Amino acid sequence: MKNIKHILVFALIATFTFSCKNNTKPEVKTVEVETESEVVKELDTNATYAKAEFTIDGMTCAIGCAATIQKKIAKMDGVKSATVDFDTKLAMVEYNEAKVTPITLEEAVGKVSDTYKVSDMKTIEDFSTKKSSSDDCKKECCKAGVKGEEKMACKADCKKVCSAKKEA
């Protein structure tokens, strides 16, 4: 009986030892993925570039809305530069007048989503870079608090956006 136990143990050990050495290598597959590469736009040096500013209503966030619209406009053929500011809802685009029109810019914004509406489209000489800040508001239409305190209060006739009373 002892010999049979020894033979069975030896057979089990031999089976486990030799069966574990069957190492199969995992199959490796190479999948080609198309990556988005930045295509360098060649600007036409003889082209006439115009600048347009317009308001985009319907944006709800800076990353999803404004950035998406900015990328879509910037990829258009004939657009030199595009900037969409979520805070002011203002888009500033410099474009080749021969390839792009204000109507095509409006259509491009509309193609991103039906919720975005373009208004106040105007061609300009220079982009408006001045943003309404609370410091400008303090300088232009606010008065100092009592006894030179830091707190500022808006004058009653102030019509600046920074002084607008928020309705509850």
Q: Where are the domains of the chain?
A: 49-124
For range 144-154, the mean pLDDT: 49
Pairing relationship of beta strands 49-57 and 152-154 according to DSSP bridges: unpaired
**Closest to 51 (Cα-Cα) out of 20, 18, 82, 10:** 82
User: Who wins on pLDDT, 131 or 98?
Assistant: 98
Distance CA 3, CA 8 (A): 9
* Amino acid occupying residue 30: T
Greater confidence, 74 or 162? Answer: 74
Say if strands 90-96 and 49-57 run parallel, antiparallel, or are unpaired.
Answer: antiparallel
Per-residue pLDDT band at 16 (split at 50, 70, 90): confident
Question: Which is higher by pLDDT, 168 or 138?
Answer: 138
Give the C-alpha separation, 95 to 98, whole Å: 9
CA distance 157 to 7: 104
What's the rounded Cα separation, in Å, for the pair 19 and 72? Answer: 59
Across 127-152, average pLDDT: 50
Mean pLDDT for the chain? 75
Fold of 49-124: Alpha-Beta Plaits (3.30.70)
79-106 residue pLDDT tens: 999 999 999 899 999 999 889 888 999 9
Is a pLDDT exceeding 70 seen at residue 110?
yes
Q: Is the pLDDT of residue 164 over 70?
A: no
| Residue in the block written with tokens 């347009």 | 52
Q: From CA 74, how far away is CA 68, in angstroms rounded?
A: 10
The pTM is what? Answer: 0.52
Look-up: residue for tokens 């373009």?
Answer: 118
**Bridging pattern class, strands 117-124 and 90-96:** unpaired
The whole-number average pLDDT for the span 47-61 is: 89
